[in-house]
Structure 1
Amino acid sequence: MARDARGGRPAGSRPRVQVAALVVAGIFLLIGVLGYIPGVTTDYGELTFAGHHSEAKLLGVFQVSILHNAVHLLFGLAGLVLARTVGGARVFLAGGGATYLALWLYGLAIEAVDAESGANILPINEADNWLHLALGFGMLALGLLLSNSAGTGGRLDNPADRH
């Protein structure tokens, strides 16, 4: 089997972290598109641009808006771009995971304070909160645990060692 120039993995194969980032990015793209399809998104006529007043629900469960769907699409596109490198894939997965954990905390805070307040700019329901928690931990784990031996180079760079 042919190896790449560094003698590592087989030529043409990708590290697991990049494959995981591509899969996750693809899922976000799919979810973003499905959010705009009547039938897949129930109460499609109630889809608003932004805010918590949107009554549209993806798969009849997850509250969405036009902006929410657009964010899924942009997040998926960013993931496709970042997955081109091992470091980018890690940033997408770990950073995205951290972002989704923050979004989970935001959802909990909004529910605890006042779901009808002006601070509730996203259509988030309880199902969204649980999904954000799972996505956060899942993406963070993928970004931090996959391909530990690939991609970042050798030892950490020390500026004092440069000549």
Structure 2
Amino acid sequence: MTVRNFARWIGIVFILVGILGFIPGITQMMTDSSDLRVDTSNGMLLGLFHVNLIHNLVHILLGLWGVASAGRTDSAVAYARGITYIYAILAVLGLIPATNTLFGLAPIGGADVGLHIVLAAIAAYFGWGVRDSSTARA
């Protein structure tokens, strides 16, 4: 898989996950959100991942960025590297009780931490490890 395909497909997945976060049934809505300032669309996506309005919108925006960057290799590499940094930082913040809700804006603790670590590792592979023929160095 090329870095451009990675950006395209992960972008599509992010968009779909963001949309699914708004769908009752797929997301089990919660009424207790004492740690969140933004409790709109507060729920558990697939019963595993705590999401809310901000979390879902961020997924959609990151997905749109991925799809848009898939047209050029240099843009796709920048996207993969950006996703690496973003998700590595989110994984660390998700481990700290004082920051695992991004200061009340979006839940990033629990099962999200492991997923963020995996996403950061995969994105790093495509951002630094995969070489498209047009980016190979002599």
TM range (shorter): 0.7 to 0.9
Structure 1 residues not aligned, in runs of 5+: 1-14, 156-163
**Are the counterparts in 2 of residues 100 and 136 from structure 1 also a CA contact under 8 Å?**
yes
* 2:2 is equivalent to residue 16 of structure 1: yes
Alignment partners' CA distance in 2, 1:71 and 1:40: 18
1:36 lines up with 2:26 in the alignment: no
Letter in 2 for 1:132: H
1:100 and 2:87 matched: yes
1:122 deviates by 1.9
Q: TM-score by structure 1 length?
A: 0.72
Q: Are the structure 2 counterparts of residues 79 and 114 from structure 1 closer, same or farther at C-alpha, using a change threshold of 3 Å?
A: closer
Q: Hey, what's the Cα distance between the residues in 2 that align with 1:83 and 1:53?
A: 32
> Per the alignment, do residues 47 and 85 of structure 1 end up closer, same or farther by CA in structure 2, a change over 3 Å counting?
farther
> CA contact under 8 A between 1:52 and 1:123: conserved in structure 2?
no
Partner of 2:36: 51
Q: Secondary structure at the match of 2:103?
A: coil
- Encode CA deviations 1:45-101: one digit per residue, 9 max, x unaligned: 6497x9377450100100000111011001100111111100000011111111100
State the 4+ residue runs in structure 1 displaced beyond 6 angstroms: none
CA contact (8 A) 1:47 1:66 kept: no
Match of 1:81 in 2: 68
Could you tell me which residue of structure 2 aligns to residue 142 of structure 1? 126
User: TM-score, with normalisation over the residues of structure 2?
Assistant: 0.83
Identity %: 30
Between structure 1 and structure 2, the one with the greater Rg is 1
Match of 1:133 among 114, 117, 123: 117
Q: Which runs of 5+ in 2 are unaligned?
A: none
- Aligned counterparts of 1:52 and 1:150: Cα–Cα separation in 2: 46
Q: Secondary structure at the match of 1:26?
A: helix
Q: CA RMSD in A?
A: 2.8
Q: Which amino acid aligns with 1:128?
A: D
Q: 1:150 to 1:66 in 2, by over 3 A?
A: same
Residue 58 of structure 2 corresponds to 71
